[in-house]
């Protein structure tokens, strides 16, 4: 999901770690924050610092556009090479042939965008992108949904609640305060047996107070299923806090997902919900389709800074010689191959595409590149349903936690106040867009008994619609009517569905145990080659738009260091660390080195 992504993937991450259990699983799906280790001031005029130095940025997603932005502000001559469209997985797109009269085409997307308050680096970039009428640029286009919902199937009552957000720093933050807050959230939203609620909260406190060494070595190698003792618990506990969390956050099975990854995001969402170290509320989305609200203004701003774009150009091979990258073989839209030569190269392609471009000689120059072959990706893809009437669902995200395909969704028209949906989009008949993410592609559905990959595109649409109705129409009210379905649009990056070899151009990095140790750094041993993307090691241990943005900043800083540039380094803000909890982590470091359990770990 920008599902990086995933961006939208972290919508469910509120519950991710044990600590934010209910926030994420329920539909949410960085003492103080550690200061950047480099100067945070940007160049005053963006000129002179990199004058005459050329940088080729390979990829035009969030990572590539961020790198181009930071480099251009420092006076570098930047050219971005992008195979399809700027924005990558984060972009929105037009439904072909859907416009009538003077209306715009119906808006579609790889998956819904989600920009939570735990993000700091991406919002900083958004504030620096001008938008007409906005004092804070594109950042002012963020709005906060009011509520979230677990939609249950089988006639069970749906769980619906406002999104917790204090908006200020609490006076005190102790394990007891956190225990009470988490218990209240779980009892309100999840309704588990009291002993299971208490146990899960204890596991959350174990992770919260674990030192970095225990997290990196023990919890990174411990599956979330094992950490939460899900095998001993009720099916409700397993479905919501084990299976649902991991599928929606990291698109990984609970039996495989790294506790370090799930826990880190959950911890961040707990602090966010408590008003600590946040850029804003836990759940924020854009008030327009993504390209209108963000990507198109970003492109225009970068062009004003002198950035050049080569759209439709495919990167084929990063070539190595004489101890450095000697050039990049690219293919232009006409299929003509040529070599691009620059002073520096920033690879900003998704990992599954980037590693195919690394020549054997390049890999031999830095073994870290070879370890990227161990990183795993999976499917998480969006489908949009256009409706001729507004469905009375929820004023925010919903999670169909009983759906075999792990569906999450949001109705978009009410969050786009500047647009009159039927007057501005399509043929005038569609009044809303229900944007749905499919996180599970390998389990049988309820309509055809086939996995999503085994279904044709039409069967996928019918199956998703059936699973939505099973979750929303099962308690006596018909919230979704077949007669209100205008049309649907499935991400074009998915191809070959229903054949033996389906493909997905936009897979997402997932986080089974051990992934943390295979993520590369932004700087490589090759002096003019740098990595950015949501797979690069940064503080937020998840494939997200925030991770893509932070990694691009780290890549630019590494480039500036190699260049001996006097330009101010990019600010790279880390996830929030509560000062009151640091003392517990220091105590746990002592216990860890003695081979003892965490003080809260009762087994």
Mean pLDDT of 53-76: 98
Most confident listed range (2-6, 289-293, 389-393, 575-579): 289-293
This prediction's pTM: 0.90
Beta-bridge partners for 9: none
Residue with tokens 């949501």: 534
Judge contact between 97 and 427, C-beta under 8 A. Answer: no
pLDDT at 38 over 50: no
Among 518, 84, 44, 535, CA closest to 314: 84
- CB neighbourhood size of 446 (10 A): 15
* DSSP assigned state of 484: G
**SS3 assignment for 500-565:** CCCEECCCEECCECCHHHHCCCCECCCCCEEECCCCCCCCCCCCCHHHHHHHHHHHHHHHHHHHCC
User: Tokens 């919902």 label which residue?
Assistant: 149
pLDDT tens digits for range 514-525: 999 999 999 999
| % pLDDT > 70, the chain | 88
For residues 244 and 435, the model is more confident at 435
The closest alpha carbon to 397, from 21, 1, 26, 3, belongs to 26
Cβ contact 320:91 at 8 Å: no
Task: Kindly give the residue spans of alpha helices, DSSP state H, lying in 425-473.
Answer: 457-472
pLDDT in tens, 397-449: 998 988 999 999 999 999 999 999 999 999 999 999 999 999 999 999 999 99
What is the Cα 456 distance to its own chain's centre?
A: 27
- The single-letter DSSP state of residue 257 is B
pLDDT band per the 50, 70, 90 thresholds, residue 254:
confident
User: What residues have CB less than 8 Å from 531, skipping those under 6 apart?
Assistant: 346, 347, 354, 520, 521, 522, 523, 524, 551, 555
Contact 66, 356 (CB under 8 A): no
Q: Is the pLDDT of residue 15 over 50?
A: no
Note the pLDDT of residue 411: 96
CA–CA separation, 350 and 281 (whole Å): 28
pLDDT over 80 (residue 157): no
**Lowest-confidence segment of 46-50, 239-243, 463-467, 555-559 by average pLDDT:** 46-50
d(CA 33, CA 102): 48
> What pLDDT does 42 receive?
42
Which pLDDT value is given to residue 180? 74
User: Which residue did the predictor score with more confidence, 467 or 475?
Assistant: 467
Q: Which residues contact 603 (CB under 8 A, 6 or more apart)?
A: 597
Average pLDDT estimate for 582-601:
95
Residue 39 has pLDDT above 60, yes or no: no
pLDDT at 41 over 90: no
Name, in order, each residue with C-beta under 8 angstroms of 554's C-beta and a sequence gap of 6 or more: 521, 522, 523, 532, 536, 538, 570, 572
| Domains of the chain from N-terminus onward | 8-31+158-280 (no CATH), 33-102+290-374+515-563 (3.50.50.60), 377-504 (3.30.9)
| pLDDT at residue 149, as a whole number | 83
Query: Residue 165 pLDDT > 90, yes or no?
Result: no
| Residue 70 pLDDT exceeds 50 | yes
Strand stretches in 232-358, DSSP E: 285-286, 308-311, 314-321, 324-331, 337-340, 344-347
Residue 37 has pLDDT above 90, yes or no: no
Taking only the tens place, the pLDDT of each residue in 488-504 is 999 999 999 999 999 99
| Confidence band, pLDDT 50/70/90 cuts, at residue 460 | very high
Q: Which are the contacts of 22, defined by CB distance < 8 A and separation ≥ 6?
A: 14, 15, 182, 185, 186, 188, 189, 190
Q: Which band of pLDDT confidence, cut at 50, 70 and 90, is reported for residue 230?
A: very high
Tokens of 551: 């990694």
Compare 10 and 544 and report the one with higher pLDDT. 544
What average pLDDT does the segment 532-540 reach? 95
């Amino acid at each position: 999901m920008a599902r990086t992504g995933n961006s939208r993937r972290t919508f469910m991450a509120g519950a991710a770690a044990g600590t934010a259990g209910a926030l994420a699983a329920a539909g949410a799906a960085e003492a103080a924050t550690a200061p950047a280790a480099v100067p945070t001031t940007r160049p005053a005029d963006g000129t002179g610092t990199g004058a005459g130095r050329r940088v080729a940025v390979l990829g035009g997603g969030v990572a590539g556009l961020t790198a181009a932005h930071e480099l251009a502000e420092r006076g570098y001559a930047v050219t971005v090479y992008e195979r399809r469209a700027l924005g990558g997985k984060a972009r929105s797109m037009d439904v072909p042939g859907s416009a009538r009269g003077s209306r715009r085409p119906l808006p579609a997307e790889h998956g819904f965008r989600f920009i939570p308050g735990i993000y700091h680096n991406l919002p900083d970039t958004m504030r620096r992108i001008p938008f007409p009428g906005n004092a804070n640029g594109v950042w002012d286009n963020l709005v906060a949904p009011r509520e979230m919902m677990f939609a249950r199937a089988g006639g069970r009552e749906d769980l619906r609640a406002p999104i917790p957000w204090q908006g200020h720093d609490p006076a005190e933050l102790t394990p007891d305060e956190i225990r009470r807050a988490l218990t209240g959230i779980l009892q309100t939203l999840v309704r588990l047996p009291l002993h299971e609620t208490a146990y899960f909260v204890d596991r959350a406190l174990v992770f919260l107070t674990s030192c970095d060494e225990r997290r990196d070595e023990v919890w990174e190698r411990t599956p979330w299923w094992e950490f939460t003792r899900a095998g001993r618990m009720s099916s409700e506990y397993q479905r919501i806090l084990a299976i649902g969390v991991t599928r929606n956050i990291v698109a990984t099975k609970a039996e495989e997902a790294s506790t370090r990854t799930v826990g880190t995001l959950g911890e961040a969402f707990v602090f966010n919900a408590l008003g600590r170290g946040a850029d804003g509320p836990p759940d924020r989305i854009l008030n327009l389709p993504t390209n209108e609200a963000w990507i198109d203004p970003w492109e225009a701003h970068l062009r004003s800074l002198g950035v050049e774009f080569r759209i439709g150009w495919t990167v084929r091979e990063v070539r190595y010689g004489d101890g450095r990258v000697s050039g990049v073989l690219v293919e232009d839209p006409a299929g003509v191959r040529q070599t691009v030569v620059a002073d520096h190269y920033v690879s900003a392609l998704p990992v599954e595409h980037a590693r195919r471009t690394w020549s054997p000689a390049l890999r031999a120059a830095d073994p870290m590149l070879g370890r990227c072959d161990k990183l795993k990706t999976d499917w998480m893809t969006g489908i949009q349903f256009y409706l001729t009437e507004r469905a009375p669902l929820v004023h925010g995200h919903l999670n169909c936690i009983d759906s075999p395909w792990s569906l999450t969704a949001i109705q978009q028209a009410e969050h786009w106040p500047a647009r009159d949906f039927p007057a501005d989009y399509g043929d005038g008949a569609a009044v809303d867009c229900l944007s749905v993410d499919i996180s599970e592609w390998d389990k049988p559905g309820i309509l055809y008994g086939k996995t999503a990959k085994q279904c044709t595109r039409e069967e996928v649409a019918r199956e998703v619609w059936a699973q939505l109705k099973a979750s929303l129409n099962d308690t006596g009210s018909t919230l979704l009517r077949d007669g209100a379905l205008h049309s649907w649009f499935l991400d074009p990056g998915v191809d070959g569905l229903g054949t033996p070899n389906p493909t997905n151009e936009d897979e997402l990095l997932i986080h089974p145990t051990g992934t943390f140790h295979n993520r590369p750094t932004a700087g490589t041993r090759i002096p003019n080659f740098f990595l950015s993307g949501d797979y690069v090691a940064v503080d937020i241990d998840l494939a997200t738009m925030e991770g893509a943005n932070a990694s691009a900043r780290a890549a630019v800083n590494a480039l500036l260091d190699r260049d001996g540039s006097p330009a101010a380094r990019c600010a790279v803000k880390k996830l929030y660390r509560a000062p009151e909890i640091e003392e517990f982590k220091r105590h746990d470091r002592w216990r860890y080195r003695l081979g003892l359990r965490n003080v809260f770990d009762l087994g």
